[in-house]
Amino acid sequence: MTCQRWSYRRAGSPHLMGGIALLGFLLLVPGEALGQEGGRIEGRVTSANNGEPLPGANVVAQGTDEGTATGAEGAFSIENVAPGQYTLKASFIGFQAEVREIAVASGETTQVNFVLRPSVQNLEETVVVGYTEKSRREITSSVETVGEAELNDVTVNDAASLLQGKSSGLYVTTGSGDPGADPTIRVRGTGSISAGADPLYVVDGTISGGVLPDPSNIKSVTVLKDAAASALYGSRAANGVVLINTKQGERGSETKVSVQASTGFNRQTTGNFSVMDASQLEGLHGQMEGSPYAGRDFSQNTDWQDLAFRTATTNSIEASVTGGSENTSFYLSGNVYREEGTLKNDKLTRFGGRVNISHSVTQDLTVDTRLNGRYTDETNNPTGALYEAYTNLPWDAPRAGDGSFRTGRESDWIGRDNTNFLYPLQYNEDKSRQYDFNGAVKLDYSLSSWLSFETTNQVTLQRDDADQYRDIRTQAGSNNDGELFNSYAESTTLLSSSQFSFDRSVGKHNAGGIAGFEYETNHYSGFDAEGGGVFPNLRALDVSAEAVGVQGTITKSNFVSGFSQFNYNYDRTYFASVSFRRDGSSKFGENNRYGNFYSIAGSWALNNEPFLEGRDWIQELKLRASYGTTGNASIGNFVARELYDFAAPYNGEIGARATQQGNPNLTWEIARKTNVGVDLSVFDRVDLSVDAYRRINDDLLQNVPQPSVTGYTSQIQNVGKVQNQGLEVSLSTINLQEGVRWTTDFNIGFNSNEVLDLAGGEPVLDVPNANQRLQEGEEIRTWYMRKWAGVDPQTGKPLWEKQITNDQGKVVDTELTSNYNEATLQMLGSASPDFTGGLRNTVEYNGITLSTFFNFVYGNKVYHSARELFDSDGGYLTYNYMELEDDWSRWQEPGDDATHPKPVAGGNSNSNDVSSRYIEDGTYLRLKNVRLSYNIPSAWLRSLNLQSARVYVSGDNLLTLTDFSGMDPEVGLDGVAGTKYPISRKVIFGVGVSF
């Protein structure tokens, strides 16, 4: 290539990520071309992901030092280029470079546009870890980041649901399809028996205080899993930490306005579950011994599910304004989200807004302000529609002859509960409102080139209001002649966090660290009242004739903490990190208010070693190891105190009775975490991370039985121990990148849970779910019930397993019995999955992007409790029944090898009582999302003065592969599947523009 010296002019301010080398180059004084008249090169550099411009991208002529940087709109121009052939290279951090061969003619302009595709991994990308930021290359701990592109596929109204199936070892499940239902998250299993097991949420580096950003404001989510990553959060990090980073503006960039709008429809999914119509139910009763409805011909055939559910809509609109000057950056956003539930009279409406502003007051002082507000209005179905849609008989008519709704209490109504959910739907209401506000101010002052001070002060306010009206004309309101229930609850959290940070390098030695102090106070108060004798359609308690119930609550708690961390690396090859935190909390006993938490971690970047020199196809090969402790403070405010109850007067006088024995020694549950991992990035196309971990949670809180002489039945003590251990794999690959780009992201997390110690070694029933038992050597959520053994082929009676034991209590034999009370209670599998994960494939071509995302769960045992009603073998004559699965059959005559006992009016020998008959495999593979989008070509946008435009269609929950007989195998952590609010299958159409 012939290349003479030529000069350039910048097309705007360089992006901060352009790098130190580029900034130094841009300070050169532009010169004049020598010799003949030169040509001109101009063009734009944009992202293949969304067509957005890439400001600060480098455009250089290979083999020379000549080049330029793109401006705010991604545009560049190079003036006075000597005629000849050139090889131009465009590059940007986090994206794959693109090379173009061009010819420059004298006095002419050559147009060159670059479309850069993201790299599989960017080792210099900054990741927030604890109270610090590190590049991926420097990380010694187990962290995983989910970016904006991966988060914005499914359509949900909460931040936590975005993570389902997208991070190894992160189990996200939602037991309800209600638009207002909150998902449950576990990081590397459950490590507590009676305390909370949810992760700690941190937003933009500060503990959230209970308010999470709206999905449209989230830029990325990072999950901190091991102690090295989470120990800086000490007393609240035993269950993992989820860091949420919101979108920010860019300094020196032009103002950009972005608007996205979407609309679509939702339908309930019923999976493999369906109830009988009138004809099918008549056929069942015809087989049922002793049924009073056998042989009767019912003309009515009501589809109660069709009356309870509907095709609902989901609509949203989001708008944001971003930009900045030399000293200021800003991000302003607002959104409206409205989702109707598929259950009639069920809907959620949310208004949200966020302001993120950063301003450099001086060269050394920066002020960041973050404000986040949200209002949520939710209307719930006030009747028993979810339950009655499945239990009500098709033989009952919902309307009378004149078209009015029947109450269900008519003499010819057959259904057992004598209710028609359509009747109270005319009158009753159930509404709630939630107000959330979070505001934080951060000051960052640079004391020197290597030392800085930072302080963040935050306030979080929440208020919840609820109103329930039960009309006197309905069964629910008849007991008290019409009822009205009002409640409110409000909470305030104040947080102040300050720290010193340093970063020094001497030769190949690099050191950094932090030391800080944090204080948090929480206040909660609530009040609710219920009045009776309310005249129809009045909605104020002052019209009630009598008070049915009044109660109020006030609580308060404080945390005080000191924390520190020291990091060191030699030649960016050998890395070490240690941290220490001391926490104090008012929640614990006066003898154990303070706890110490620490971590130590190291990593070795083998790719920097001489023995791998020259192997450029290895971008990263790093070994990691860490050990440390974290705590769990997710308990009530007064569990360590002696408590008295003043609510029940004695003989008409105010009195008190002792209700809880105090424990001054009560303290934190401790998690001891060990992690080893390896990170591998090769060929700039494959990124692999593998982690093996063990977490032992010690000093677990447990209600320990007490002698009756104490006056108490139990006392909360630190006595339990639980272990979680497992393996996590995350793999990202670029399969094709020439013309068509095809990428794959896969993650899987295996986890094994075991109870190691209980008080006195004695097993106890799990209080929330009496059909599960805590026992040493078993998993936390292990089912404990009678073992189903099938159907006696000669009699059609149910069979269970009876264990025969010797004098020492050891099982020596088993036999079958048809007597339910003789059957032996046994441990019968766990509600926790063996592994979970997700798989995403993305194909891009010429502005068209197609992505598919699957999530999967394997090995959990689900107790399908709804079958106790719908599959009761005649136990509930006046409830509807579920259709049998294809491989199920009912016993009819001697010799039948059937899955279901003989149907008998009133039930067949307790066949529908609790047993493993209703335990099913909860394994599933779900097509969680399919999205097809098209980026409008830039040539079409210029005439409309648009920077970018995109249209898309998206589908959620389109297909679920499972053997589970219910509506949905995804249930809550307890593993119980009742009459579930079904999840929605959504189809969404959207458009997004930027200008």
88-120 tens-digit pLDDT: 888 876 677 777 888 888 888 888 888 887 766
Query: For residue range 66-91, what is the model confidence (pLDDT) as tens digits?
Result: 678 887 778 888 887 788 888 888 88
Query: For residue range 490-524, what is the model confidence (pLDDT) as tens digits?
Result: 999 999 999 999 999 998 999 999 999 999 999 99
pLDDT of res. 65:
56
pLDDT of res. 64:
55
Residue 474 has pLDDT above 60, yes or no: yes
| Of the candidate ranges 37-51, 52-66, 154-168, 848-862, the one whose mean pLDDT is the lowest | 52-66
Distances from the Cα of 1 to the Cα of 62, 90, 427, 547, angstroms: 9, 18, 83, 92
Residue 545 has pLDDT above 50, yes or no: yes
Query: For residue range 28-41, what is the model confidence (pLDDT) as tens digits?
Result: 333 333 345 778 88
Q: What are phi and psi of 542, to 5 degrees?
A: -70, -5
Highest mean pLDDT among 40-54, 570-584, 604-618: 570-584
| Confidence band of 578 (pLDDT split at 50, 70, 90) | very high
| Confidence band of 548 (pLDDT split at 50, 70, 90) | confident
| Confidence band of 50 (pLDDT split at 50, 70, 90) | low
Residue 6 has pLDDT above 70, yes or no: no
Q: 3-state SS of the chain: helix, strand, coil percent to 5? A: 10, 50, 40
pLDDT of res. 960:
96
pLDDT of res. 822:
95
Residue 489 has pLDDT above 70, yes or no: yes
The rounded distance, in Å, linking the Cα atoms of 293 and 416 is 14
> Looking at 667-740, which runs of residues are DSSP E strands?
669-682, 686-705, 714-736
| Of the candidate ranges 129-143, 147-161, 625-639, 751-765, the one whose mean pLDDT is the lowest | 129-143
Q: What are phi and psi of 475, to 5 degrees?
A: -65, -35
SS (H, E, C) 95-158: ECCEEEEEEECCCCEEECCEEECECCCCCCCEEEECCEEEEHHHCCCCEEEEEHHHHCCCCCCC
DSSP 813-877: EEEEES-GGGSPEEEEEESS-SEEEEEEEEEEETTEEEEEEEEEEES-EEE-TTHHHHT-TTS-T
* Beta bridge partner(s), residue 732: 687, 745
Query: For residue range 390-406, what is the model confidence (pLDDT) as tens digits?
Result: 999 999 999 999 999 99
pLDDT of res. 103:
83
DSSP state of 543: G
Owner of token pair 């995983």:
144
Write down the mean pLDDT value for the chain: 88
β pairing state of 741-757 and 764-765: unpaired
| Confidence band of 14 (pLDDT split at 50, 70, 90) | very low
The percentage of the chain sitting over the pLDDT mark of 70, rounded to a whole number, equals 94
Q: What's the whole-number mean pLDDT along residues 519-536?
A: 93
pLDDT of res. 3:
36
The rounded distance, in Å, linking the Cα atoms of 724 and 41 is 60
- What single-letter amino acid sits at 528? D
Structure token pair of residue 675: 């992690």
Residue 244 has pLDDT above 80, yes or no: yes
Distances from the Cα of 23 to the Cα of 67, 104, 122, 499, angstroms: 12, 26, 20, 30
Residue 27 has pLDDT above 50, yes or no: no
| Confidence band of 458 (pLDDT split at 50, 70, 90) | very high
Residue 860 has pLDDT above 90, yes or no: yes
The rounded distance, in Å, linking the Cα atoms of 873 and 881 is 9
| Confidence band of 49 (pLDDT split at 50, 70, 90) | low
Q: What's the whole-number mean pLDDT along residues 323-347?
A: 94
Q: What's the whole-number mean pLDDT along residues 426-432?
A: 95
pLDDT of res. 428:
95
Short-list 780, 771, 728, CA closest to 751: 728
Structure token pair of residue 334: 């607002």
Residue 7 has pLDDT above 50, yes or no: no
Q: What's the whole-number mean pLDDT along residues 873-899?
A: 95
Query: For residue range 707-739, what is the model confidence (pLDDT) as tens digits?
Result: 878 888 888 899 999 999 999 999 999 998 877
Residue 16 has pLDDT above 60, yes or no: no
